[in-house]
Structure 1
Amino acid sequence: MISLEALAGGVQAGTLYGIGVGPGDVRYLTLRATVLLRSVDVVAFFAKRGQQGNARRIVAPLMKDDRDERRFEYPVTDELPAEHPDYQDQIGHFYRETAASLASLLREGKSVGLLSEGDPFFYGSFMHMWRRLSADFPVEVVPGVTGMSGCWTRANVPITWGNDTLSVLPGTLEEEQLVDRLRRTDAAVIMKVGKNLGKVRRAVDAAGLLSRAIYVERGTMQEERILPLAECGEPQGAYFAMVLIPGEGRRL
């Protein structure tokens, strides 16, 4: 639905595109994503303070110097736990301000492509914009290859067989919760490993799954690293890191 405010002055509201840019290698972009990168009026992206932004870095080979871009810099990322009140206050304010900036562009009739690592509807910041703007402006979500799909492909491990159930778990869960959920699933992907690597490794070991677990760092990217989790002794992993635990279901 397009609001009256968005149509004020007879200007047709622009469309917000949530563009999934895939797991890291630009060659995994869909045709739809590639076309939109070249055709939208404005390319927008999120970035950590002082950094280029992961989604922007992925699409760099497709970007021209004259593109109109908007960079939205997070006030905080992993410096504070997500449950901390200061984190929630700062990020909540940031998302409100970002949504207002995007709404201003859309009211001018401009189309905006907001980049999202992996898929926009899978642990993506785009979802917070979709929640705030989709009732008032046209929004199209362009799905992307998820990070976990890229990682298990690069690790050359089928993740589920037959009737295997798959659990996707954030590494930010308490250690006891991780152990419990790992014991109740056939296959698992543990996201948000990063600073939680030591805790995740202990939980996987306690669940009796260490021999099957694979650590993937920067999957599909130039600095890709893949090894058994049991051989990964570092106290923390990279920002782009996850643990894969393949299922062992029916194989015909």
Structure 2
Amino acid sequence: MSVYIGCFVGVGVGPGDPELMTLKAVRHIESADVIAFLVNDKGHSQAKDIANLFIESQTLLPILMPMADDAKVGDAVYDQASEQIQSLLDDNKKVVFLCEGDPLFYASFTYLLSRLDHNSTLVVPGISSPQSAACALQHPLTMLTESYCVITGRHDDAFIESTLKNYDSIVIMKAGRARVKILNCLENSNRLNEAKYLEYIGRDNEFIEEDVTQLDKQAGPYFSMFVVTKKDRPR
């Protein structure tokens, strides 16, 4: 059995704006030996882009994550990455893994966390996209006794419509490829006029549409979401 003498830190870098990173996140990034992060097939990493200002001489460990619906593809990537990270930990290295938003909220870090010894792991929380979306809209997610639910566009129509009918406030994340389906569910649930749509929150290419009937019925980018809240609220 290996002796874990290194340290693995999941660091939340927030939704996009580097100024939303915490002081603790910056401190761990600056003191890391190795910075790990997921990249797409073009070698791009949004998490690294957010943290770039604080990355200097650290060794970089990009982890290629193909966009695939087959969970076995992701599992193989996380298996291999965890072996690489474990080898670094055994060599007494501090490895920081960068995560958009928060490391334990729909985040890739959770799959590495489950594969490594928690005794050698730390987690630094980050601002998640629903909170940042509410601020961008200047619109509260919940008030008083309102119920609140977060789901993803990966659910089927029946589940999404049931959620829209049974909760006051709903955030639907990972809306990109499911945008047409979500728009149809909003219409079927009579909540089109209560929904707002956001892309790339906190980034230079941030886009907000407060009238979702104006959206084209086609797929959107991965980093997109719908925020649905009650129309009539106390003032």
Q: Answer whether contact 1:171 1:196 (CA < 8 A) is retained.
A: yes
Residue 163 of structure 1 aligns with an amino acid whose one-letter code is T
Q: Answer whether contact 2:194 2:231 (CA < 8 A) is retained.
A: no
Q: Answer whether contact 2:29 2:35 (CA < 8 A) is retained.
A: yes
Q: Answer whether contact 2:37 2:48 (CA < 8 A) is retained.
A: yes
Measured at CA, do residues 248 and 212 of structure 1 come closer, stay the same or move farther in structure 2, by a change above 3 Å? closer
Question: 1-side partners of 2:143 and 2:117: how far apart?
Answer: 37
1:224 and 2:206 are equivalent in the alignment: yes
Q: Answer whether contact 2:200 2:223 (CA < 8 A) is retained.
A: yes
Tell me how far 1:67 sits from its aligned partner: 2.0
Q: Answer whether contact 1:161 1:247 (CA < 8 A) is retained.
A: no
Question: 1-side partners of 2:136 and 2:78: how far apart?
Answer: 33
Tell me how far 1:63 sits from its aligned partner: 1.8
Map 1:162-177; keep pairs closer than 5 Å. 162-177=144-159
Q: TM-score, normalised by structure 1?
A: 0.89
SS in 2 for 1:129: helix
1:101 and 2:92 are equivalent in the alignment: no
Residue 169 of structure 2 aligns with an amino acid whose one-letter code is A
Question: 1-side partners of 2:63 and 2:26: how far apart?
Answer: 21
Of residues 2, 5, 18, the one that matches 1:5 is 2
Of residues 45, 50, 63, the one that matches 2:42 is 50
Q: CA RMSD in A?
A: 1.5
Question: 2-side partners of 1:212 and 1:55: how far apart?
Answer: 31
2:216 is matched with 233
Moved more, 226-235 or 112-121: 226-235
Q: Answer whether contact 1:215 1:229 (CA < 8 A) is retained.
A: yes
Question: 2-side partners of 1:20 and 1:195: how far apart?
Answer: 25
1:22 and 2:7 are equivalent in the alignment: no
Tell me how far 1:125 sits from its aligned partner: 0.7
Residue 69 of structure 1 aligns with an amino acid whose one-letter code is L
SS in 2 for 1:133: coil
Question: 1-side partners of 2:171 and 2:38: how far apart?
Answer: 25
Question: 2-side partners of 1:169 and 1:249: how far apart?
Answer: 23
Tell me how far 1:248 sits from its aligned partner: 5.6
Question: 1-side partners of 2:146 and 2:54: how far apart?
Answer: 38
1:35 and 2:27 are equivalent in the alignment: yes
Q: TM-score, normalised by structure 2?
A: 0.95
SS in 2 for 1:151: helix
Question: 2-side partners of 1:206 and 1:200: how far apart?
Answer: 10
SS in 2 for 1:195: coil
Question: 1-side partners of 2:232 and 2:93: how far apart?
Answer: 49
SS in 1 for 2:38: strand
1:245 and 2:228 are equivalent in the alignment: yes
